[in-house]
Chain A
Amino acid sequence: KAGVTQTPRYLIKTRGQQVTLSCSPISGHRSVSWYQQTPGQGLQFLFEYFSETQRNKGNFPGRFSGRQFSNSRSEMNVSTLELGDSALYLCASSRDRGFSMNTEAFFGQGTRLTVV
């Protein structure tokens, strides 16, 4: 069974540009969450998508957005990149949303974004 796939693995962008990151969840998983990991702020929740709708959002500016497609694949977009957006972006997929312990999150290997 294939795991969570994130593409690309590495990305270098210039300040002011925009970037799109992709996440393919495990087959059958309908929930996709995104996290930003930086040395200074640690792991911070960006947003969660389920059934093509954003269900929850972290405390990030509107430059960070995302979407989910009917096959559950998700993309996140960052517009007008700033140096501080340099980070590892992790995607996690879960079978469902809910209160059950069984909605375990499986993580991808992340996309390392460097803004210069």
Chain B
Amino acid sequence: AQTVTQSQPEMSVQEAETVTLSCTYDTSESDYYLFWYKQPPSRQMILVIRQEAYKQQNATENRFSVNFQKAAKSFSLKISDSQLGDAAMYFCAYRSAEEYGNKLVFGAGTILRVKS
């Protein structure tokens, strides 16, 4: 079974600064997808960024980028130029590409606080 670990329960960042959220995962599969979701106080999970394991290039979406290290099974999220609206709970998630279906395995989450 796959597991996802987020070792930082809480992080703080100053507005306009950069912060990195950590995520490691364990799997015996070679093909899979990794995601970062944001859950603001409204509770709705919003997809921030996604990465396909067979792609070496790190995904980027505007101020959000990932550092994907497949051998180390590490998938960290970097948020540049942090904004107050980035404050939320962030979840790292895994989805198999070898098993048919849409099941996501989530980490415990990291609360991100943004200070003005």
Chain A positions near chain B (C-beta within 8 angstroms): 31, 33, 35, 42-45, 48, 55-56, 58, 88, 90, 92, 94, 97-99, 101, 103-110, 112
Q: Contact flags (1/0) for B56-74 with A, using CB distance below 8 Å?
A: 0000000000000000000
Instruction: Please tell me if the beta carbons of B101 and A101 are within 8 angstroms of each other in the complex.
Output: no
Residue among A43, A44, A92 with most chain B CB within 10 A: A43
Cβ-defined partner of B102 (8 Å) among A92, A109, A112:
A92
Instruction: Please tell me if the beta carbons of B43 and A110 are within 8 angstroms of each other in the complex.
Output: yes
Chain B positions near chain A (C-beta within 8 angstroms): 33, 37, 42-47, 50, 52, 91, 97-98, 100-109
Q: Is the interface of B mostly helix, strand, loop or mixed?
A: loop
Instruction: Please tell me if the beta carbons of B109 and A105 are within 8 angstroms of each other in the complex.
Output: no
How far, in whole Å, are A45 and B105 apart by their CA atoms in the complex? Answer: 7
